Amino acid sequence: DSDGLGVSPVSTPESGFRSALSVENLTSSEPEEARASPHYPTRNKTREDFLQDVRRAQQTENYTSLQRFYMRSFDTFAEICTNKEEEGAKTEEPGLNMEFLYAVHDALRGMPSVIHKTVLKSIINALLEENRNLFDKDDVRALYVLVQNPVFAAQSSYTIFAHLLRHIVNLSGPDHQLLVNWFKVLEIDKLRMIVRHVMQFITIRQFPPADKSLPPLSKSRWWIPTATKTLALINAANNSSTPPLLDYTEFYNSALDHMDLMQDYFNWQSPQRPGQFSYCQYPFILSIVAKRIILTKDSEQQMILTARRSLVAKVARHQAPQIDIFFLNIHVRRSHLVSDSLNEIASKQKDLKKKLKVSFVGEPGLDMGGLTKEWFLLLIRQIFHPDYGMFVYHPHSRCYWFSTDQEGNLREYNLIGVLMGLAVYNSIILDLHFPSICYRKLLSPPVVPDVDSAQVGSVQAPTVDDLAEIMPDVSRGLTELLAYEGNVEEDMCMNFQVSLEEYGDVKTYKLKECGENIPVTNDNRSEYVKLYLDWILNAAIYEQFRAFYLGFHSVCASNALIMLRPEEVEMLVCGSPTLDLNELRKVTEYDGYKADDPIITDFWEVLHSLSDELKKKFLLFATGSDRVPVGGMGEMTFKITKVTNKPDNLPEAHTCFNQLVLPTYDNQDLLRQKLIIAISNAEGFGLE
């Protein structure tokens, strides 16, 4: 993307998707520190003076004085900048009296419409004047002030707002960096307001009202790219703040879920249309639902292409095409589940993007989804079992991490990666408990490099917070080591080695050459912590994670993956933690019961009354996972089946079919008692 704000697709003629990632970030050049600015006198009116004027106007209902103030304040860029502090704009701060500015903007919300019109006219004058002048640092500051103006909440202001945003986008790279820095020091509510104004502006331009109140698209086609690029600056400010000022989901525009996403995706990838705007260039604006649609449709396109090639090849060889050419057919024996699955996947690498169908040898039955889900659940239960030794369960964090001494099981690690990829493409929710750094590693990089020797799956400079997700006690110890005020060498008696307990055995590893002879001191403890973190999270498990990474990408190799955040990959694999029982009730089917039967009414009343923790346990009991698919419970299937003559039995569940078997209890209290016993004693797959 030539403006340096967006994300570019990657491809190579040979493989389609195997290529180095190329993400164009904001310019790395430093903002100009001290460009000459005209001298503007600082206005003498204080915040208290202004608020007193507002109160007086409200009491007398005479806003003439305030109208003059607002007209003068926004009439020129010079006037807008009179609110600056003595030292003027800096690289990290705008040098404005922000309290005064907030008061002026906040008061404007409650002003009569005539003052809003006055402000808009003044902003028009300021923008027209600025079109005749070169930008300097004070002009950047004026744009920063104007974009915060609450008058842009109104649709009637959109033509002016569009021109303001164009001024912002047309700034130089260093000036963009200034704005990024200044957005970081805005109050969170003010930053959120700008995001919402720009987001609403995009939505209404994308889906214009029927009253034709907006200019025709032929004259305002540039509005959406301009607004989206402005959002990219705010998103850059948000991402570079620790912690982020806003949750990344606040940059989602869910209205875009309903547009032709695949056309946008194809435009983004098309080399014949360089420079054409696409939302996919700015993936932060696309919701996880939109990204899942793109990922799934892209997978289907690749699947159809693969199947078509297979069909053409068979016809060319005068062979009859297979009926199941559009499916990845996995045939396994229950008694040899892992080995059969490994062999099937190894022999069908070219079919991994096809729709998955599973059959168990010697068992009748057509896979309508239940057998596929059962295959996933049984495989994960077996591979994550402690006896298998591939993953270590950490009870304090309730998550799994890769074993450090299992390089001989690389095929199995690759299988887990393939399973995760297949789950994403086949909309299967897996009950996996990996820390978030696992998903960051999966996107490091998001596209497999061309060079086989290139490092993959390593996170640069992992932190103690990353380790805390897996081993909170160890992370706490490292933090205390860094903060220790005594003599580290004498009091701690540590060296550059790490001891790790796995499955009852303690093993010691060197963090650097001759590490056993190098004491940890006050001077080198930061190096020790850095090496320790890199060893635990990268080096010690490199080969295992590399196999896992390549397995995942063998299924999910796609430009669509570039658009995903680590949190979004986790959500696609493991589902969302948000439970909406009303949505679940709407999609529930009944076998033997009716929706208005007293016991069904009692069941839903009991379920709604449970604590959030018990609701999650119920979902785990009934579906095999305590999370729901991306898009919500409305996309699930759920069935309640009647069983008679067993009033003393506990409810049962067939997780492979999301089916609850519910006895006919006599009263609600008994139903509650039996249900809580059942869900409280259910085991989740992958948890012991």
Cα-based angle 653, 654, 657 (whole degrees, multiple of 5):
130
Give the integer Cα–Cα distance in Å for 55 and 57. Answer: 5
Sign of CA dihedral 582, 586, 587, 592: positive
Give 328's strand partners: 356
Give 7's strand partners: 23
Strands 588-591 and 638-643: parallel
Instruction: Say which amino acid occupies 470.
Output: I
Give the integer Cα–Cα distance in Å for 245 and 183. Answer: 10
Going by the DSSP 8-state scheme, the letter that residue 628 receives in this structure is: B
> Tokens 């059942």 sit at which residue?
678
Residue 81 annotated to the active site = no
- Locate all alpha helices (DSSP H) within 3-46, ordered by sequence: none
- Distances, alpha carbon 384 to alpha carbons 379, 387, 393, 400, 687, in Å: 8, 8, 9, 8, 8
First to last CA, the chain: 48
In terms of Cβ atoms closer than 10 Å to its own Cβ (0-12, 13-18, 19+), residue 327 is: middle
Instruction: Say which amino acid occupies 249.
Output: T
Considering only CA atoms, which of 179, 43, 157 is closest in space to residue 103? Answer: 43
H or E segment at 315? helix 288-316
Catalytic residue among 399, 556, 574, 656: 656
Task: List, in order, residues 6 or more apart from 432 with CB less than 8 Å away.
Answer: 380, 400, 420, 573, 574, 686
Considering only CA atoms, which of 592, 625, 617, 612 is closest in space to residue 675? Answer: 617
CB atoms within 10 A of CB 577: 12
Give the integer Cα–Cα distance in Å for 650 and 647. Answer: 8
H or E segment at 391? strand 391-394
Going by the DSSP 8-state scheme, the letter that residue 584 receives in this structure is: H
- Distances, alpha carbon 493 to alpha carbons 512, 517, 518, in Å: 17, 11, 11
DSSP, collapsed to helix, strand or coil, labels residue 108 as helix
CB atoms within 10 A of CB 166: 17
Give the integer Cα–Cα distance in Å for 481 and 492. Answer: 9
In terms of Cβ atoms closer than 10 Å to its own Cβ (0-12, 13-18, 19+), residue 325 is: middle
Residues taking part in catalysis: 656
